[in-house]
Amino acid sequence: MKAAIINLGSQYTHVIWRTMRDLGVEAAIHDVSASSEILDFFDTYILSGGPGSAHQDKYPSAERLIKNTASQKSQKPILGICLGQQLVAHVLGGKVERGKSAEYGTSTIEVDEEGALFSGVPKKFTAWVSHFDEVKKMPDGFIRLAHSDTCEIESMQHEKLPIYCTQFHPEVWHTENGEKILQNFVEACGK
């Protein structure tokens, strides 16, 4: 399996790359302006976090990938992390706004539905969060997988399409079971 990590400006993008390599996935980091010719070579996509805004900034390659999977033009799985989750929600008609308070540090995540990402993960765990905006309303067809005291939608996935998202950062060492969550995504890509 070959994964393209679309760098939306996260300071953790290289950590995603390293974790994917540790899981046996051939991975490469690409800019948000990467062409279709380059990205179509990959089997799956990970949209990193970043300091930007899903509804104010433009991320052409990431937006195209989301639309292609949502329209079933492509069946290639997508994992959106932090800004990646917000971008998925925004592009597909959800609502992204400022959260009650900016989050930076650890938070207790509570799993509501196991979905594809939380198999073998405790119902409560500590994760690293770093964001101002958050998904306030999921797009049609999505289910909430997890929440926290400060963020109602810490994780979501589409009911039928291979689109998975987390608001928190599973790639950083501060997140308990983070590698397991990413491994679950990798396994979901193979199904």
Tell me the pLDDT band of 52, cut-offs 50, 70 and 90: confident
Long-range contacts made by residues 71-75, C-beta under 8 angstroms, separation at least 24? 72/161, 75/162
CATH of the domain at 136: 3.40.50.880
Tell me the pLDDT band of 58, cut-offs 50, 70 and 90: confident
Counting the structural domains of the chain, the total is 1
State residue 73's pLDDT score.
86
**Which one from 103, 134, 154, 171 is the annotated catalytic residue?**
171
State residue 105's pLDDT score.
65
The residue-averaged pLDDT of 53-64 equals 88
What are 5-45's pLDDT values in tens digits? Answer: 999 988 889 999 999 999 999 999 999 889 988 899 999 99
Give yes or no: 30 in active site.
no
Q: For the whole prediction, is pTM greater than 0.75?
A: yes
**Which one from 82, 151, 165, 189 is the annotated catalytic residue?**
82
* Enclosing domain of residue 181: 2-189
Give yes or no: 169 in active site.
yes
The residue-averaged pLDDT of 51-80 equals 90
- The Cα–Cα gap between 183 and 187 comes to 6
What are 115-169's pLDDT values in tens digits? Answer: 999 999 999 999 988 757 899 999 999 999 999 988 899 999 999 999 999 999 9
**Which one from 90, 131, 158, 169 is the annotated catalytic residue?**
169
Give yes or no: 171 in active site.
yes
